[in-house]
């Protein structure tokens, strides 16, 4: 991989040290061009059948690429608008009874906590919280689901390999928001039943893209949340119409061709550079940043082999602003210092 050549694909890097891919990645110029091209087509020729054929082709390409990233089959990957939406679709699609237990890890993101809390309020589900490193030990006889981050958003800690031991007994939902496009993913090796991830962060796609992988064994147990036109195998069948028998049953409604075009183009920039090289460079640079911050006297949070680096600041707002003025884009986390 030629890092300088790759950097040249992302205009924001001309002027800024852009270190905020954990929120939204930098946009490559090919992505903007793909959106413009589709927009011009639609503007000139309207959005008739041809537009929908193009959109469907782009979505198939997006699904195939996401599946490849996850080490999965395209038929098992739903196209969502975000990590959070994938999490919601799993949590709302499973069957719950009062007293069922969900085990989550400490420091989870609101994208997981909010939907879990909704189950508590609606069904009387019980939540147990454990340290990510020891989450397997928290599983008990009433545990119906374990849900946690693959990479923790607060400090870049990676979920322990021991999680795969859960496979078979209790389904595991992994939140891959800080993993997809940042570190290698192999859903089978991770032993999870569900994997939700975004397109807009480390994959550098547009906001409003994401993926949800559902283990084929679990697909019959996840009821599609409001299957609408594109989720139905034969929508013209009216009330008799049933959802697709694969992950398309969980696709978000009203996905646009423009967002797929941008997602595919952004993916291909990194794909062409080679994922192993991208992962290696990103994790190496993050580790180097962590090391240099520590050398400079900052309290750097213990982190895993990932792309996130966190450190403490007495006044995070002021530090973020000062760095931005110097052309270095970082974010501060709500809550901790």
Residues engaged in binding ligand PLP (CB under 6 A): 82-84, 109, 111, 149, 153, 175, 177-178, 198, 210
Q: Which is nearer to ligand PLP, 20 or 319 (CB)?
A: 20
CB of 198 vs ligand PLP, minimal distance in Å:
3
CB of 46 to ligand PLP, least distance (A): 32
Q: Which residues pair with 209 in a beta bridge?
A: none
The percent helix, strand, coil of the chain (3-state, each to 5) is: 45, 15, 40
Written as one string, the DSSP assignment of 3-58 is HHHHHTT-THHHH-EE--TTTSPPPPHHHHHHHHHHHHHHHHH-SSHHHHHHHHHH
What whole-number distance in Å separates Cα of residue 276 and Cα of residue 224? 34
Q: CA 266 from chain center: how many Å? A: 15
Shortest Å distance, C-beta 49 to ligand PLP: 32
With respect to ligand PLP, which residue has the nearer C-beta, 21 or 193? 21
Minimum Å gap between C-beta 206 and ligand PLP is 12
Q: CB 326 → ligand PLP: shortest distance, Å?
A: 24
Closest to ligand PLP by CB, 196 or 270? 196
Closer CB to ligand PLP, residue 59 or residue 178?
A: 178
Using DSSP, state whether 197 is helix, strand or coil.
Answer: strand
Pseudo-torsion of CA 74, 78, 79, 80, nearest 10°?
A: -160
CB burial of residue 156 (10 Å; 0-12, 13-18, 19+): buried
**Residue 176 CB, nearest distance to ligand PLP (Å)?**
8
Residue number with CB closer to ligand PLP (111 or 181): 111
Q: Are 99 and 75 in contact (CB under 8 A)?
A: no
Question: Which 8-state DSSP code applies to residue 231?
Answer: G
Between 66 and 244, CB nearer to ligand PLP: 66
Q: Based on CB atoms, which residue is closest to ligand PLP, 177 or 212?
A: 177
Q: Which residues of 175-207 are buried (b: 16+ CB within 10 A; e: fewer)?
A: bbbbbbbbbebebeebbbbbbbbbbbbbbbbbe
The CA distance from 247 to 77, in Å, is 5
| 296 C-beta neighbours (distance < 10 Å), count | 9
User: In whole angstroms, how close is the CB of 77 to ligand PLP at the nearest point?
Assistant: 15
Nearer to ligand PLP, 26 or 198 (CB): 198
Minimum distance, C-beta of residue 118 to ligand PLP, in the bound complex (Å): 15
How far is it, in rounded angstroms, from Cα 41 to Cα 49?
12
């Amino acid at each position: 991989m030629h890092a300088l050549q790759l950097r040249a694909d992302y205009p924001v890097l001309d002027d800024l040290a852009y270190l905020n891919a954990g929120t939204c990645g930098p946009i490559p110029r090919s992505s903007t061009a793909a959106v413009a091209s589709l927009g011009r087509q639609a503007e000139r020729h309207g959005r008739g059948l041809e537009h929908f054929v193009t959109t469907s082709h782009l979505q198939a390409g997006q699904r195939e690429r996401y599946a490849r990233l996850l080490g999965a089959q395209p038929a098992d990957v739903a196209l969502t608008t975000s990590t959070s939406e994938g999490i919601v679709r799993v949590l709302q699609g499973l069957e719950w009874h009062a007293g069922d237990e969900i085990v989550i890890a400490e420091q989870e993101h609101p994208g997981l906590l909010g939907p879990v809390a909704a189950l508590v309020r609606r069904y009387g589900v019980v939540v147990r919280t454990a340290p990510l490193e020891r989450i397997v030990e928290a599983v008990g006889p009433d545990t119906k689901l374990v849900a946690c981050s693959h990479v923790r958003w607060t400090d870049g800690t990676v979920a322990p390999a021991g999680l795969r031991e859960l496979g078979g007994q209790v389904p595991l939902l992994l939140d891959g928001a800080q993993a997809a496009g940042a570190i290698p993913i192999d859903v089978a090796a991770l032993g999870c039943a569900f994997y939700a991830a975004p397109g807009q962060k480390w994959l550098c796609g547009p906001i409003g893209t994401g993926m949800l992988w559902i283990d084929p064994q679990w697909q019959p147990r996840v009821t599609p949340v409001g299957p609408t036109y594109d989720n139905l195998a034969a929508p013209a069948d009216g009330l008799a119409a049933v959802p697709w028998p694969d992950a398309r049953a969980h696709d978000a409604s009203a996905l646009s061709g423009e967002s797929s075009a941008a997602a595919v183009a952004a993916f291909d920039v990194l794909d062409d550079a080679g994922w192993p090289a991208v992962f290696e460079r990103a994790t190496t640079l993050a580790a180097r940043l962590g090391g240099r911050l520590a050398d400079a006297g900052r309290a750097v949070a213990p982190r895993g082999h990932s792309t996130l680096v966190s450190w403490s600041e007495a006044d995070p707002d002021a530090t973020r602003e000062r760095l931005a003025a110097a052309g270095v884009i970082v974010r501060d986390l709500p809550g901790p210092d």
